[in-house]
Each structure stands twice: as C-alpha cells, then as structure tokens.
C-alpha cells in the first residue's frame, strides 16, 4: 500500500492531483514535517498527531498510529513540501485548509513554544494552502494562548 501512495506523490509536479482517499496521508505528512521542523520529534508531538488524525478522519487509535507511521515514511521519502501543500489546496475546501493550519500550529506548540524554523514552515504552508497570514496569525494566537 505504501508503494502505491509513494507512486501517487511521485506524480505531484505533473498532475497536481491527490485522490481524496490520500488526503489524510498528505495532511499527516505535513503534521509530521511540522513536528520535526525544529529538529526534535517529541512523544508529545507524536501523540498529538495521532489524536488529530484519529479525530479528523474518524480512525481508531491503532489506525491513526498506522497512518502516522506511513506519513513518517512519506516524510523521509518525499521532500517536496510545496507539492503536498499545493495538492491539498486543490483537494480540500477552504475550511479544511484552515483546520489544517490550526492542526499544524497545535503540533508546533505541542512542546510549549514555536521556534523560527517552525514558523517559517507554517508561513510557507499558509501561502501554499491559500490561507491568509492574518488568519494563520489568528490561529497561532489561539493555540499559543491555550498552551
């Protein structure tokens, strides 16, 4: 199954399409990438990613863990952050893109703070997902206040 997913992402630049069934892999991979962007990948971040995936896609804890593990493999295999984001922009509606940015900020703040590398990644993703910097900052402030 993972080879099939990888083959879909190999075509990102040419097709720009992501089948709806694989949207969870793209979102999950971006969550993993955000968690790792500060060069740390903490248990708190891993557990939060599992919780977010389970909630967003109505998965059992075991299914969410398996999805996250596949996303970790995708993260290592496919370095094209822009491609993931561009495909998601076309595959999911605006409210889901905003929810994705919110989830990304939640992962960034899982360790209690955001560092420059994480903020730079989120700036790139907000642009690629078509979410305004103002809306992203609003979500940042919301998550920061909750930590």
CATH number at residue 91: 1.10.3680.10
Query: In 40-93, where does DSSP find H-type helix?
Result: 43-57, 61-77, 81-91
Q: Does 132 fall in a domain?
A: yes
Tell me how many domains the chain contains. 1
Burial 105-131 (b: 16+ CB within 10 A, else e): bbbbbbbeebeeebbebbeebbebbeb
Q: In the prediction, which pLDDT does 82 show?
A: 85
Q: Establish if 14 belongs to a structural domain.
A: no
The answer to whether the CB of 129 falls within 8 A of the CB of 97 is yes
**Any idea which residue has 């922009």 for tokens?**
89
5 belongs to a structural domain: no
Q: What six digits make up the tokens of 103?
A: 């989830």
pLDDT for residue 79 is more than 90: no
Q: Are 44 and 110 in contact (CB under 8 A)?
A: yes
Provide the residue range defining the domain that includes 40: 21-146
**Mean pLDDT along residues 67-72:** 92
Residue 6 or residue 132, greater confidence: 132
Indicate the pTM of the whole model.
Answer: 0.84
Higher pLDDT: 14 or 28? It is: 28
Residue 13 lies in a domain: no
CA distances for 87 relative to 2, 30, 135, angstroms = 18, 12, 20
- Residue 46 in any domain: the answer is yes
What is the pLDDT averaged over residues 76-80? 83
Q: What is the predicted pLDDT for the residue at 11?
A: 44
Identify the CA nearest to 114 among candidates 46, 64, 45, 60: 45
Evaluate if residue 135 carries a pLDDT over 50: yes
Q: Is residue 8 part of a domain?
A: no
């Amino acid at each position: 199954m993972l080879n099939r997913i990888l083959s879909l992402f190999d075509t990102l630049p040419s097709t720009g399409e992501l089948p709806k069934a694989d949207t969870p892999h793209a979102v999950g991979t971006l969550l993993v990438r955000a968690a790792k962007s500060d060069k740390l990948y903490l248990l708190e971040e891993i557990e939060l990613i599992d919780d977010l995936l389970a909630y967003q896609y109505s998965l059992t804890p075991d299914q969410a863990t398996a999805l996250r593990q596949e996303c970790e493999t995708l993260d290592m295999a496919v370095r094209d952050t822009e491609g993931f984001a561009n495909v998601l922009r076309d595959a999911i509606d605006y409210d889901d893109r905003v929810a994705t940015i919110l989830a990304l900020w939640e992962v960034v703040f899982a360790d209690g703070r955001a560092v420059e590398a994480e903020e730079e990644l989120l700036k790139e993703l907000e642009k690629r997902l078509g979410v305004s910097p103002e809306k992203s900052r609003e979500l940042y402030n919301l998550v920061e206040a909750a930590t």
